[in-house]
Structure 1
Amino acid sequence: MSILEQRYRWVLRLLPAAYRAEREEEMVTAFLEGARRGKAGMDDQRPRWMEIASVATLALRLRLGGPGEPPRSFLWGEAVRRAAVLGLVFWTTVGCLSATLTLYTYGILAEGPPDGLTMGIGDPGSPERLRHVLADLAPLLWAASLGALVLGRPLTAKAAAVAALVVPYVLVPPALSVGGWEIAVRWACTLFPAAVTALALMIGFHRDAPPPRLSRGRALGMVALPAAVGILLSLVVGVLDSLTRAGTVPMRLLMQVLMWVDMPGLACVALTTVTVWCVAGRRTSRRSSAPVALAAAILTVPVVLARTAILHPGATDSITGIINLVGCVQLGLLLMSGMTLVVMGARALRTATDGDLTELRGQHG
């Protein structure tokens, strides 16, 4: 066995054992036939990056299987795909909340606050102001991604999700160099939940597991419901903000509400709700809730990091104290939910056999 052949076999270990046992020799032979000989024959060669990428892509597609794949692969595949759908629904709510608040903040929907303070960033009509407005409206692309996915257009959904993730920071780059590595780490943690959703969408819906194509009416309803929730939440925040400026509502109450309607706070509420649904559904149909439990467990990890990123232990002022207190409560809920979901998912994986997943196989997407 040449050194190059050993390297190819090492790369092929990315594939599931059953697939490798059936196809490894054929694949190694094909790779060696296409290899270029160097000065020392095959011993000074390495697998090409495109070959490694193709094997890694195949391994992901097999391990996140679609209908007809082994039960364990199918369960993981459904978990990642449902993580993508749950994430897109959540980010549609956040995007509509952010967009509505942006229209209010910059005086597009209504006039400025009663005290006449200048709202938004940049002078009216300036390019800087335009960039910030567009960056704050860019999260609406999550709704476009969700709509494209449920209409059976995964490539459009993936492109819209990547744009929603990247465009805001292209328009308004984060000032990471000002605060050093600590600010950069906190920023990365807050970006992580959206990145996990986009990644789950990219790898979950491959050619062997296309998304279900809903009718236009059902697809519109699936996008409109989380969008309406986001708009409703923005109205609540706007009313509380106006009452706070008028002195009717104390600032402490406003801060507590804002901690529950920011991204990690809303994610905490959503994941806790999903956990309760999974626990309640387990009594009637454990198999149908298994991929949802795994999906929510996947999404819980980045939310914990995002919530932790805004905490400031040791701070003594009252506002930061409220942030730390509410944040710790949310972290407790997230950790309890995450542990419950992991236990449910682990039990489902242990019982992932053909007989156990017969019902689940008919529920793709």
Structure 2
Amino acid sequence: MTTLLESRYRAVLRLLPAYYRREREEEMVETYLWDVDRDTQDQSRPTLGEVASIAALAVRSRLGAPGAPSRYVLLGSAVRLFALFAVLIQAAAAVVDLVLEVTWAVSHGGAGRHLLLSQFTDQGLLTAVVTAAQWILPLLWTAAYFALLHDRRRLARASALLAALPNLWPLLGPLAGALVAPHPAFATAFGLLAWLPALALCAAYHRDAPPARLPAGSPGLVFMTCCVVTGASVVVLPAAADLAWAPASCFVVGALGWLLWQARRSDAVTPGGALALAALGLLILAVRVAALYPWLHVPGAALYVGGGLVQTAALALVTVVLAVVGRRDLTTAEPGLS
């Protein structure tokens, strides 16, 4: 007769994918019930630690664990590439933003330096601490990127989570009585752009996952190329540049380059790459639209709005193409979807 505790364990184990349960459910249930007295099983329940462990196993088994069906292998590869590409773009944007702001301040003499330093000295202690964190912590995206490609997964996870912290301030600042400028929709979308990749990195690069690899190029060369593209997009059209401009420009150029490179190859060298880029493109598109929307009817913002609309159209087009290619890859991995 099935006890209440066994039923509860089986209910929690339903978090696992079906292929994993078919192979190991009975063994796992026996292990959990091994040292529990049968007379007390109707008054017991799985511990929080056991539930957390099963939930973590459910994530690993769905993201390309050894022996997983092809669709889960593809999903795991896509999530890992999504995290890698997003970390790369934000690393380049963070470095370029810092370099351009410091360069502008130095090139404008004493007035520029005073304006730069006033961010830390004229707004109170809390704002000074937040401003310093917004300057320093995003640089950890670069640490996360290189740590990930050198298979230092703990360092990569910690760096990505710390780098994403400043994106919480526009959402949490009003709770602390601070005046935060960004529109709520933009603050939410920009926060997701940081936190979804950070969480994807933590989930997808589990202990059974393969090491991170770029589809092409060395880590340093790819990073420098992204920095050049990101910086050039701001320098060429500074009137259109906002927090979404540089990441979106880098994504469009990088995604087009990936599509052209992929079209020249007959083998599927990057399974899940199109799905990863499509998901990232959709996320960046949401940030682009959220940044642009409040300015659509503002007088005198025609150049900014025009540049934003052109970039939005390019993002949407590239994302649709990537989604079509990703759908083809998904159908190849799981023919039943066709």
TM-score if structure 1 supplies the norm length? 0.74
State the SS of the aligned residue for 1:200: helix
5+ long unaligned stretches in structure 1:
238-252, 355-365
Aligned to 1:359: none
- Residues 2/179 of structure 1: CA separation in 2 closer, same or farther (3 Å cut): farther
Secondary structure of the structure 1 residue equivalent to 2:211 = coil
Output aligned runs, 1:105-116, within 5 Å.
107=105, 111-112=109-110
Superposition CA RMSD, Å:
3.8
Q: Post-superposition shift, 1:321?
A: 4.6
1:35 offset after TM fit, Å? 5.2
1:20 aligns to 2:18 (yes or no): no
Q: Partner residue of 2:9? A: 8
Quick check: 1:268 aligned with 2:248? Answer: yes
* Structure 2 contact 244–288 (Cα < 8 Å) conserved: yes
Cα contact 1:152–1:210 (8 A) shared by 2: no
| 1:95 is aligned to 2:76 | no
| Partners of 1:11 and 1:149 in 2: CA distance | 32
One-letter code aligned to 1:268: A
Residue 306 to residue 314, structure 1, CA distance change in 2 (3 Å): closer
Q: Amino acid of the residue matched to residue 161 of structure 2?
A: V
1:33 and 2:34 equivalent? yes
Alpha-carbon shift at residue 23 of structure 1 (Å): 0.6
Aligned counterpart, 1:199:
199
Change (3 A) 1:11 1:331: farther
The residue identity in structure 2 corresponding to 1:57 is A
Query: Is 1:82 matched with 2:81?
Result: yes
1:255 aligns with 2:235: no
Residues in 1 aligned to 2:225 and 2:254: alpha-carbon distance in whole angstroms:
16
User: Are 1:294 and 2:294 counterparts?
Assistant: no
Aligned partner of residue 158 in structure 2, secondary structure: helix
Counterpart code for 1:132: T
Q: Distance in 1 between matches of 2:169 and 2:192?
A: 17
Once residues 335 and 36 of structure 1 are traced to their aligned partners in structure 2, the CA distance between those partners, rounded to angstroms, is: 59
* Contact 1:148–1:154 (CA under 8 A) maintained in structure 2: yes
State the distance in 2 between where 1:124 and 1:314 align: 28
- Percent identical among aligned pairs is 31
| Contact residue 274 and residue 296 of structure 1 kept, 8 A | no
Note if contact 2:229-2:249 (Cα within 8 Å) is conserved in structure 1.
no
Moved more, 65-74 or 8-17: 65-74
Distance 1:350 1:304 in 2: 25
Aligned to 1:141: 140
**Aligned letter for 1:194?**
A
Q: What SS is found at the alignment partner of 2:83?
A: helix
Amino acid at match of 1:28: V
Against the structure 1 CA distance between its residues 305 and 28, is the aligned structure 2 distance closer, same or farther, given a 3 Å change threshold? Answer: same
Write the letter of the residue equivalent to 1:317. V
Q: Deviations over 1:115-155 (max 9, x none)?
A: x9844524479855575245223211111111111222111
CA distance in 2, matches of 1:278, 1:169: 31
- Cα deviation for residue 66 of structure 1 reads 5.1
Contact 1:99 1:139 in 2 (8 A): no
CA drift at 1:301 = 2.7
Matches within 5 A, 1:238-249: none
Change (3 A) 1:55 1:264: same
SS in 2 for 1:207: coil
2 CA distance for matches of 1:104 and 1:112?
A: 13
CA distance in 1: counterparts of 2:229 and 2:200, whole angstroms: 24
Per-residue CA deviations over 1:42-83 (Å, capped at 9, x if unaligned) read: 345433222121111111111111566432222111111111
- Alpha carbons 1:14, 1:59 under 8 Å: kept: yes
The amino acid across from 2:109 in the alignment is E
Residue 221 of structure 1: how far off its partner (Å): 3.9
CA-to-partner distance for each residue in 1:307-330, whole Å, 9 max, x for gaps? 222233685333445444443433
Q: CA deviation at 1:165?
A: 1.0
TM-superposition CA deviations, 1:323-345 (whole Å, max 9, x none): 44443433333333222222222
**Shift in alpha-carbon separation, 1:353–1:303, aligned structure 2, 3 A:** closer
Map of 2:319 onto structure 1: 338
> C-alpha deviations, 1:19-41, integer Å up to 9, x for none?
1111111111222335588xx94
